[in-house]
Amino acid sequence: MSVPAPAATAGLVDAFGRVHTDLRVSVTDHCNLRCSYCMPLDARFRPAAELLSFAEIERVVRVAAEAGIRTLRLTGGEPLLRPGLPDLVGRLVGIAGIEEVALSTNGLLLAEQAAALAAAGLARLNVSLDALDPQVFAAVARRPGLERVLEGLAAARRAGFRDIRINAVSIRGLTEGEIVPLARHCRAAGLQLRFIEFMPLDGESAWSGAQVLGGADVRAILAREFGALEPLPAADPGQPAVDYRYPDGGTVGFIDPVSAPFCGRCDRLRLTADGQFRNCLFSTTEWDARAVLRAAHPPADEAALLAALLRDCVAAKRAAHGIGTPSFARPERAMYQIGG
Ligand code: SAM
Ligand code: SF4
């Protein structure tokens, strides 16, 4: 392969003018839950040798930062299952250009790791929690664990994390009864709650539009309890969530990728745990960074090749995911294999 000339660093701009500054880095596809919307019950995980090492992730992120990436989110699978994750956080926060490293976790291992993650420089935490009733939690996650998540949240606060976000996927026929309890709990505990619509990325390909409990439905349930919610202007133009204010103060966020796609302001790219760049959750193409990393290139050539791959990935980004349109194609990989 010939080594392309280094690009002028004009940022990672796609054909529609979207500037990409956020990279989601999946560190594993393994998980200690089996959420129905994310992976099959009999999920098979990749052997460790197929996952990028921390040194490989660091090399990719250095190139991505040089190209314009400013924020990172570590995800998975369950990222806290990856041994030594605080070590990776420490390596990434030190990279020139990276302004913030965040983490999405199911929280089961947070009690053990929150202090080390904070010490390593992790800036923000998103914890997924769909239900406060242990039976509903286990029906969604197909494993128990609610108590450990709540312990993990308490530990995260003791470790100094502020503005912790709770992400709750809403599924019709399953989680309606959890919406008000989650809202009450998060308001009382000072947690930033966000409801997310169920996307067609489940491991069993069983998604149907009928299962999507839309953001509007969730807002109607909340309004019956708390009064009408008022939408707020976006604090950050790239943010997928729209925040709403409760009549008596405090906010709740909605990520509505199915009913109100935000593709037009998407600023995200993804690196899967096995080293593939993706330009969208719904990408049907991947760009193989691991092949570059594992070929014997001199460091400068490797960096140039990775930068070219990233630019190709960005250039090929489609205008929108197209869920609900005739041309929509479900990606082969489920959410846990991509990195949410
Ligand atoms: N295991 C971690 C967790 O659960 O937060 C990180 C990975 S998980 C794939 C990241 C986020 O994706 C979680 O908030 C999860 O609820 C969400 N998610 C997974 N599958 C989804 C789907 N089909 N539709 C919408 N959100 C989904
Ligand atoms: Fe695991 Fe997160 Fe997927 Fe649930 S959503 S199965 S916790 S990776």
Average pLDDT of 281-303? Answer: 95
Q: Which ligand is nearest to the CA of 334?
A: 1
Please write the tens of the pLDDT for every residue from 275-291: 999 999 999 999 999 99
Ligand 1 contacts CB of residue 128 (under 6 A) = yes
Ligand 1 contacts CB of residue 211 (under 6 A) = no
* Ligand 1 atom showing the smallest separation from residue 38 Cα: 20
- Taking the centre of ligand 2 as the mean of its atom positions, its distance from the CA of residue 222, in whole angstroms, is 25
> Residue 5: is its pLDDT beyond 70?
no
Q: How confident is residue 322, by pLDDT bands cut at 50, 70 and 90?
A: confident
**In the prediction, which pLDDT does 324 show?**
84
Burial of 151 (0-12, 13-18, 19+ CB in 10 A): middle
The answer to whether the Cα torsion of 148, 153, 157, 160 is positive or negative is: positive
| Residue of 192, 335, 336, 337 with the most ligand 1 atoms within 8 Å of its CB, for mutation | 335
Q: Which ligand is nearest to the CA of 32?
A: 2
Please write the tens of the pLDDT for every residue from 178-201: 999 999 999 999 999 999 999 999
Q: Are 253 and 195 in contact (CB under 8 A)?
A: yes
Strands (E), 182-305: 192-197, 230-231, 242-245, 251-255, 268-271, 276-278, 287-288
- Taking the centre of ligand 1 as the mean of its atom positions, its distance from the CA of residue 55, in whole angstroms, is 26
> Residue 56: is its pLDDT beyond 90?
yes
| Token reading at 63 | 């190139």
**In the prediction, which pLDDT does 340 show?**
84
Q: Measuring from each residue's beta carbon to the nearest atom of ligand 2, which residues come in under 6 Å?
A: 31, 33-35, 38-39, 76-78, 106, 128, 335-336
Q: How confident is residue 237, by pLDDT bands cut at 50, 70 and 90?
A: confident
- Taking the centre of ligand 2 as the mean of its atom positions, its distance from the CA of residue 1, in whole angstroms, is 37
Ligand 1 contacts CB of residue 104 (under 6 A) = yes
| Token reading at 123 | 């800036």
* Ligand 1 atom showing the smallest separation from residue 31 Cα: 1
3-state SS, residue 294: helix
- Taking the centre of ligand 2 as the mean of its atom positions, its distance from the CA of residue 96, in whole angstroms, is 31
The answer to whether the Cα torsion of 50, 54, 58, 64 is positive or negative is: positive
3-state SS, residue 123: coil
Across 45-69, b (16+ Cβ under 10 Å) vs e yields beeeeebbebebbebbbbbbbbbbb
* Ligand 2 atom showing the smallest separation from residue 75 Cα: 8
Residue 247: how many CB atoms within 10 A of its CB?
11
Ligand 1 contacts CB of residue 335 (under 6 A) = yes
**In the prediction, which pLDDT does 327 show?**
84
**In the prediction, which pLDDT does 116 show?**
98
- Taking the centre of ligand 1 as the mean of its atom positions, its distance from the CA of residue 91, in whole angstroms, is 25
Please write the tens of the pLDDT for every residue from 115-158: 999 999 999 999 999 999 999 999 999 999 999 999 999 999 99
- Taking the centre of ligand 2 as the mean of its atom positions, its distance from the CA of residue 254, in whole angstroms, is 19
Site of tokens 């839309």: 214
- Taking the centre of ligand 2 as the mean of its atom positions, its distance from the CA of residue 275, in whole angstroms, is 19
Q: How confident is residue 325, by pLDDT bands cut at 50, 70 and 90?
A: confident
Residue nearest to atom 25 of ligand 1 (CA): 198
Sorted by sequence, the CB contacts under 8 Å of residue 210 that are 6+ apart come out as: 172
Please write the tens of the pLDDT for every residue from 194-234: 999 999 999 988 999 999 999 999 999 999 999 999 999 98
Residue 233: how many CB atoms within 10 A of its CB?
7
Residue nearest to atom 26 of ligand 1 (CA): 198
Please write the tens of the pLDDT for every residue from 71-104: 999 999 999 999 999 999 999 999 999 999 999 9
| Domains of the chain (ranges, CATH numbers) | 22-338 (3.20.20.70)
Alpha helix (H) ranges present in the chain? Answer: 54-67, 85-93, 110-120, 134-141, 146-158, 179-189, 215-226, 289-294, 299-315, 335-338
Mean pLDDT of the chain: 94
22-26 and 71-75: which strand pairing?
A: parallel
* Ligand 1 atom showing the smallest separation from residue 336 Cα: 9
Query: Closest Cα to residue 85, out of 62, 61, 115, 49?
Result: 115
How many angstroms separate the CA atoms of 62 and 72, rounded?
A: 12
Q: Which ligand is nearest to the CA of 24?
A: 1
Sorted by sequence, the CB contacts under 8 Å of residue 223 that are 6+ apart come out as: 229
Burial of 181 (0-12, 13-18, 19+ CB in 10 A): middle
Query: Closest Cα to residue 92, out of 11, 32, 24, 158?
Result: 24
Please write the tens of the pLDDT for every residue from 244-264: 999 999 999 999 999 989 899
**In the prediction, which pLDDT does 9 show?**
52
| Residue of 169, 194, 197 with the most ligand 1 atoms within 8 Å of its CB, for mutation | 169
